[in-house]
Chains A and B, each alone.
Chain A
C-alpha cells in the first residue's frame, strides 16, 4: 500500500509495480520527470486515461444519438396516433352519415310501399264503389228488383267509407310516428 510517508516517486513506483494507473486530469498535473521509470509510468497513465476517455466519449455519443432517435421516434409516434385518431373520427362520421342515409332510404322505401298500398286500396275502393253504384243505377233504370242491390250498395258504401277512413288514419299514424323518429 502507498503510505503518506512515501514520496511521489516511491508512490509512483509502488503503483507501477501493482499495475495501478492514475486516471483523470490529475495525471496531467504531474511534472515531467527525468527518471525513466516515472516517465514511462506517467506516459502509460496518460495513454490509458486518453483511451478510456475516448471510449467513454464514443459510448456517451452513441447513447446521446440513441436518445435523440428515441425522442424523434416518440414525436413520429405521437403524430401517427393523432393521425389515426383523426382517421377514426372521420370513419365514425362517415359511418354515421351512411347509417343516416340507410335509414332515410328505408323510410323512403317504406313511404313508397305505403303510397302504393294506399293507391291500390283507394283504387279498389273507388272501383268497387263505382261498380256497385253502376249496378244499382242499372237496376233502377231497368226497373228490376233493387232490394238486394240497394242494401248491398248501402252496406258496401258504409264498409268502403269506413275502410277508406281507416286506411287514411293508419297512414297518417305511420307517417307521424316515422317523422318523430
Chain B
C-alpha cells in the first residue's frame, strides 16, 4: 500500500472518482487532492528541503492540463524532480495520449502516464502492482492505457 498520495487535478469530480477508486483497490489510506499546480507548488516549497512535519507525499499524480493554474502538469513534474529534490514517485494522469506530450513528460522525469477514462480502476490496480518498481526506480516509464 502506498503511504500517501497527492493528486493535482482541476476537475473536482475526478477527485471523488480517484479517492473512491483508491479506497476500493486499497491503494492508499492517505490521499490529498489539490485543484491547481500553484497550490501544489506552494506545498512543495514548504516541504523542501527537509519536510519538517513529514507531510511530503510518497506518490504524486498530476493532471496534464490544469485549468486555472500558472503552469501545466509537465512543468509541475519537472519542478518536483529538478527543483524540489526528486523525493517521490511522480507521473501524469490525463485523458490525452498525445505522443509529443508523453515524450515531454518523460523528459521532465515522469515515471508513468495513466490515461483517464470511465474505467480507471483496472489501470490503477496495474499501477499498484508495479508500484514497488517505481519506488526503487527500477521500473521503466510506462503508459497505462
Main secondary structure of the interface of B (DSSP, over half): helix
- Give chain A's interface residue range (CB within 8 Å of chain B): 10 to 19
Q: Does A65 reach chain B (CB closer than 8 Å)?
A: yes
Q: Does B16 reach chain A (CB closer than 8 Å)?
A: yes
* Chain A 56-77 per-residue mask, 1 if CB under 8 angstroms from chain B, else 0: 1100110111010000000000
Q: Does B118 reach chain A (CB closer than 8 Å)?
A: yes
Known: A28-B29, A56-B16. Contact between A61 and B118, CB under 8 A? Answer: yes
Q: Does A17 reach chain B (CB closer than 8 Å)?
A: no
For B, the interface residue count at a CB cutoff of 8 angstroms equals 13
Q: Which of B20-28, B42-50, B85-93, B107-115 contacts A (4 or more CB under 8 A)?
A: B20-28
Q: Do B13 and A60 have beta carbons less than 8 Å apart?
A: yes
Q: Do A25 and B23 have beta carbons less than 8 Å apart?
A: yes
Q: Do B13 and A67 have beta carbons less than 8 Å apart?
A: yes
Residue in chain A with minimal CB distance to B29: A25
Q: How far is the CB of B9 from chain A (nearest CB, A)?
A: 12
Q: Does B82 reach chain A (CB closer than 8 Å)?
A: no
Q: Does A50 reach chain B (CB closer than 8 Å)?
A: yes
Chain A residue contacts of B29, Cβ below 8 A: 25, 28-29
Q: Does A95 reach chain B (CB closer than 8 Å)?
A: no
Chain B residue contacts of A24, Cβ below 8 A: 23
Q: Does B67 reach chain A (CB closer than 8 Å)?
A: no
Q: How far is the CB of A40 from chain B (nearest CB, A)?
A: 20
Q: How far is the CB of A51 from chain B (nearest CB, A)?
A: 10
Q: Does A54 reach chain B (CB closer than 8 Å)?
A: yes
Alpha-carbon separation in the docked complex, A27 to B17 (Å)? 20
Q: Do B13 and A57 have beta carbons less than 8 Å apart?
A: no
Q: Does A53 reach chain B (CB closer than 8 Å)?
A: yes
Residue in chain A with minimal CB distance to B24: A53
Q: Do B20 and A60 have beta carbons less than 8 Å apart?
A: yes
Q: Do B118 and A65 have beta carbons less than 8 Å apart?
A: yes
Chain A residue contacts of B21, Cβ below 8 A: 57
Q: Do B13 and A64 have beta carbons less than 8 Å apart?
A: yes
* Chain A 64-107 per-residue mask, 1 if CB under 8 angstroms from chain B, else 0: 11010000000000000000000000000000000000000000
Q: How far is the CB of B136 from chain A (nearest CB, A)?
A: 25
Q: Do A50 and B24 have beta carbons less than 8 Å apart?
A: yes
Chain B residue contacts of A65, Cβ below 8 A: 118
Q: Do A64 and B14 have beta carbons less than 8 Å apart?
A: yes
Residues of A within 8 A of B (CB): 24-25, 28-29, 49-50, 53-54, 56-57, 60-61, 63-65, 67
- Which 3 A/B pairs are nearest by Cβ-Cβ distance? A57-B20, A25-B29, A60-B16
Jot down 8 A-B pairs with beta carbons below 8 A, ordered by A: A28-B29, A50-B23, A53-B23, A53-B24, A56-B20, A64-B17, A65-B118, A67-B13
List 17 additional A-B contacts (Cβ < 8 Å) besides A53-B23, A63-B13, A65-B118: A24-B23, A25-B30, A49-B23, A50-B23, A54-B24, A56-B16, A57-B16, A57-B20, A57-B24, A60-B16, A60-B17, A60-B20, A61-B17, A61-B118, A64-B13, A64-B17, A67-B13
